[in-house]
């Protein structure tokens, strides 16, 4: 014969089982995967990192700004055409 409290006990047991499965999944599956992902991301970032040294820029002989009102002959790229002279 079932007592009136038997459905409450079944609900408590089901709740405890589902909480246990959730706790196990969080701490033994999801958390270790996130830790491994973070460690691998850091390691791959350090291995494949290519830094450009900003102080190694070459100095150009000509100004980057093309002068406007000049009468020099210029080629298609905007540089003075030395073959005309």
Let me know if residue 61 belongs to a domain: no
Let me know if residue 67 belongs to a domain: no
Q: Give the residues across from 51 on adjacent strands.
A: none
Mean pLDDT on 14-29: 95
Let me know if residue 14 belongs to a domain: yes
List the alpha helices (DSSP H) in 1-85. 6-25, 31-47
Q: Give the residues across from 81 on adjacent strands.
A: none
Let me know if residue 42 belongs to a domain: yes
Inform me whether the pLDDT recorded for 5 exceeds 60: yes
Position 11 scores a pLDDT of: 84
Let me know if residue 70 belongs to a domain: no
Inform me whether the pLDDT recorded for 77 exceeds 70: yes
Mean pLDDT on 54-78: 64
Phi-psi region of 78 (alpha: psi -120 to 50; beta: other; left: phi over 0): left
How many domains, in total, are found in the chain?
1
Q: How confident is the model at residue 56 (pLDDT cuts 50, 70, 90)?
A: low
The closest alpha carbon to 23, from 34, 15, 13, belongs to 15
Let me know if residue 33 belongs to a domain: yes
- Domain limits for position 41: 6-48
Let me know if residue 27 belongs to a domain: yes
């Amino acid at each position: 014969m079932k007592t009136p409290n038997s459905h409450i006990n079944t609900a408590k047991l089901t709740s405890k089982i589902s909480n246990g499965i959730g706790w196990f999944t969080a701490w033994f599956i999801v958390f270790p995967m996130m830790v491994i992902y973070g460690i691998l991301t850091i390691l791959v970032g350090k291995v494949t990192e290519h830094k450009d040294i900003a102080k190694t820029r070459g100095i150009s002989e000509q100004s980057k700004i093309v002068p406007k009102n000049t009468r020099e002959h210029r080629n298609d790229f905007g540089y003075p055409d030395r073959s005309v002279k």
